[in-house]
Amino acid sequence: MPQDLTFIHSLLLFSTAFIAGGLNAVAGGGSFITFPTLIFTGVAPITANATNNTALWIAAIASAGAYRRDLSIEKRQLLLLTGTSLVGGVIGSMALLYTSPDVFKKMLPYLLLSATLIFTFSDSLKSWLQFRTRNDFSATPPLFMLLISQLLISIYGGFFGAGMGILMLATLTFLGIKNIHAINAFKSWLGT
Contact status, residue 188 vs residue 63, Cβ threshold 8 Å:
yes
| Residue 2 clears pLDDT 70, i.e. is over it | no
Higher pLDDT pick, 13 / 141: 13
Phi, psi dihedral angles at 58 (to 5 degrees): -65, -40
Q: Which of 110-119, 129-138, 168-177 has the lowest mean pLDDT?
A: 129-138
pLDDT score, position 105: 87
Query: How far is the CA of 173 from the CAs of 26, 130, 161, 165, 179, in angstroms?
Result: 15, 6, 20, 12, 9
Q: Domain coordinates of the chain in residue numbers?
A: 7-191
Mean residue pLDDT of the chain comes to 80
Higher pLDDT pick, 12 / 119: 12
Q: Which of 60-69, 141-150, 153-162 has the lowest mean pLDDT?
A: 60-69
The residues, any chain, with a CB within 8 Å of residue 80's CB and separated by 6 or more, are 143, 147
CA distance 102 to 149: 29
pLDDT score, position 52: 85
pLDDT 10s digits, 41-99: 999 999 998 888 887 777 777 777 777 776 766 778 778 888 999 999 999 999 999 99
Residue whose C-alpha is closest to residue 114's, from 152, 164, 79, 76 = 164
